[in-house]
Amino acid sequence: MQHELEVILRPGEGALMRLLSMVERRGFPILGTHAEMAADNAQIKVRLRLADQGRSVDNLCQQVRKQVDVTSLLLLD
């Protein structure tokens, strides 16, 4: 089983790298990513496909939501 997250970030230096490194440090291998900047450059939409590690992804979602650059997060799986 896999998990898919959609994260909206404020554009800023290192925002995407902070998100990706946090997910990996929490022990969820990233299987795929897709990121695109909105037409007005006001936000970055990131889709992450994560491997299921046999634990709840809810804790990860709570931690990601606390990041300063994150404006919203949806769990799509």
State the pLDDT at residue 56: 86
State the pLDDT at residue 54: 85
Question: What stretches in the chain show pLDDT beneath 70?
Answer: none
- What is the C-alpha separation between 30 and 2, in angstroms, rounded? 10
State the pLDDT at residue 1: 80
The sign of the dihedral angle between the CA atoms of 7, 12, 13, 18 is negative
- In this prediction the pTM is 0.90
- What is the C-alpha separation between 71 and 66, in angstroms, rounded? 9
- What is the C-alpha separation between 63 and 73, in angstroms, rounded? 11
